[in-house]
Structure 1
Amino acid sequence: MDNTQRFNNRVENYAACRPDYPAEVVAYLQEKHGLTADKTLADVGAGTGISTALFLNAGYTVFAVEPNMAMLHKAVETLGKFPGFHAVNGSAENTTLAGKSVDAVIAGQAFHWFDAKKSKAEFQRILRPGGITVLIWNERNVLSPFEIAYEALINRHGKDYVKVQHRNIDMAHIADFFAPLPVEMESFTNGQQFDLEGLKGRLSSSSYMPLSHEAGYAGMMRDLETLFDKYRENGTIRISYTTKVYAGRLK
């Protein structure tokens, strides 16, 4: 499958049910890396605009670069009211942005889809001198009894979960991407609370899970309902995340 099209049929669930990023991420980048709100950012692999919104709400100008038009249209629908928002149909390997046009490149929950070598060259091209690159993930924790059971469900029903989850996102891959310069990692706590319908949407937002018209979907949802009934508290369950932020310069 063309990775840029993996989320074609998941846009609404992705926008509604994927976790936001903590506001502390922005404060950290401002204080530790000098990313003041007068800077211009490229959010590469912006998707439906979850990471873009984090920075727009903090006053930044953001070019949301996304190759999937369905996701980009959702970002425009959601974020078009911000004067600093600019939608760009481009990819990590070919953003279409002008050379030396941005102060930072951001990639939220996206770098594992990129061609690392080609995207590094492209980021170096569009970054202004002294600009930084920031890779962000919400890593779902597997700590509580529900989270352990939910992980087992995903492994049982996911189509290519292991392959997708382990591409380009360990520290060795990330350090190699920034080499020979150093990269710094900071982490933050994050989480979501779901009722049953929200949890179904969260599960369906993942590209490796069956869609409603595909084999295995009905059984997956039955298993999810069983899990929800077993672990719910006051009608909801919680999924916790560790938000990891990798920041550094590429030149």
Structure 2
Amino acid sequence: MNPSAAPTERFSDRVADYVRYRPGYPPALLDWLHRDIGVAAGATVADIGAGTGISTRLFLDAGHRVVAVEPNAAMRQAAERWLAAGHPQLSFAAGTAEATTLADASVGLVSAAQAFHWFDADAVRPEWRRILQPGGIALVYWNSRLLDVSPFLAAYERLLQDYGTDYSTVAERYQDDATMRAWFGAGLRGRVQLPNVQHLDFDGLRGRLLSSSYAPQPGHPRHAPMLAALRALFDAHAVDGRVAFEYRTRAFAGTLD
């Protein structure tokens, strides 16, 4: 993939790996949202940047009606194949975070997961405020990979720095806690951090790496050396044929008054 590709197209050539190997989100996130933030169990959710449906599935499983907003056709179609048949309360929109195509005051919750760092943070505020019902909540959350809590994760971080096409640029886009507090301002209702982990065999680790937009694909001169380094990394750190890929799920929720 060309590192200069538009954010909405960065994952078009790695949808299969994204579907199979990206982590989900802990169910405790929904418990916090309902119990502590006060989002109604029946609220309609606009899942912005829904991608292949990983975040969408979280809300469907909790009983919400969901509109999955995703501009990338390949990712949206993957979500439809995975989720649409068994979830009549799910619909799709080919909108962007800044222009969702949804009606005024049509949802009780606007949710943005891993894709938020690609959005224009200033432009989304009036658009999300427009589609939220009075008193509606915006939720922003990520799986943040822990960089140095184990020798494996520290070595994986070095591998990304050595072989990633634009890894440092992408990593710097993620908003820190101070930025998110400022973005919500007085409307911030709460924040939480939750543990999350994937236990991956080598195929899973390889797919997880190749699902990342900065991982060089076949044909790139760094691709084969990167996979050889990944194999050596896995062999050095695997326990019973698996490695622990650890995250903290960081979430912020509030109004956009």
With normalisation by structure 1, the TM-score equals 0.97
Measured after TM superposition, the shift of residue 181 of structure 1 is: 2.8
Secondary structure of 2:13's counterpart equals coil
Residue 95 of structure 2 aligns with which residue?
Answer: 90
User: Aligned equivalents of 2:189 and 2:97: distance in 1?
Assistant: 19
Secondary structure of 1:218's counterpart equals helix
User: Aligned equivalents of 2:230 and 2:83: distance in 1?
Assistant: 32
User: Aligned equivalents of 2:240 and 2:142: distance in 1?
Assistant: 29
> Runs (4+) of structure 1 moved beyond 2 Å?
179-184
Measured after TM superposition, the shift of residue 209 of structure 1 is: 1.0
User: Aligned equivalents of 1:140 and 1:167: distance in 2?
Assistant: 14
Residue 3 of structure 1 aligns with which residue?
Answer: 7
Out of 228, 231, 250, the position equivalent to 1:244 is: 250
Question: Does the CA-based 8 Å contact 2:188-2:252 persist in structure 1?
Answer: no
Identity across matched positions, percent? 44
Out of 74, 77, 84, the position equivalent to 1:73 is: 77
Residue 104 of structure 1 aligns with which residue?
Answer: 109
Secondary structure of 2:95's counterpart equals coil
Letter in 1 for 2:118: W
Deviations 1:72-107 (A, max 9, x none): 000101110211111111100000000100001000
Deviations 1:156-189 (A, max 9, x none): 1111112112225112321232134335210111
Unaligned residue ranges in structure 1 (runs of 5+) = none
Instruction: Summarize the alignment of residues 33-44 of structure 1 with structure 2, pairs less than 5 Å apart.
Output: 33-44=37-48
Secondary structure of 1:9's counterpart equals helix
User: Aligned equivalents of 2:198 and 2:162: distance in 1?
Assistant: 23
Residue 212 of structure 1 aligns with which residue?
Answer: 218
Unaligned residue ranges in structure 2 (runs of 5+) = none
Letter in 2 for 1:133: A
| Aligned length, in residue pairs | 251
Out of 190, 196, 200, the position equivalent to 2:196 is: 190
Letter in 2 for 1:223: A
Secondary structure of 2:52's counterpart equals coil
User: Aligned equivalents of 2:174 and 2:182: distance in 1?
Assistant: 10
Out of 166, 182, 197, the position equivalent to 2:172 is: 166
Instruction: Summarize the alignment of residues 55-70 of structure 1 with structure 2, pairs less than 5 Å apart.
Output: 55-70=59-74
User: Aligned equivalents of 2:123 and 2:9: distance in 1?
Assistant: 19
Deviations 1:178-211 (A, max 9, x none): 1343352101110001111111000000001101
Letter in 2 for 1:41: V
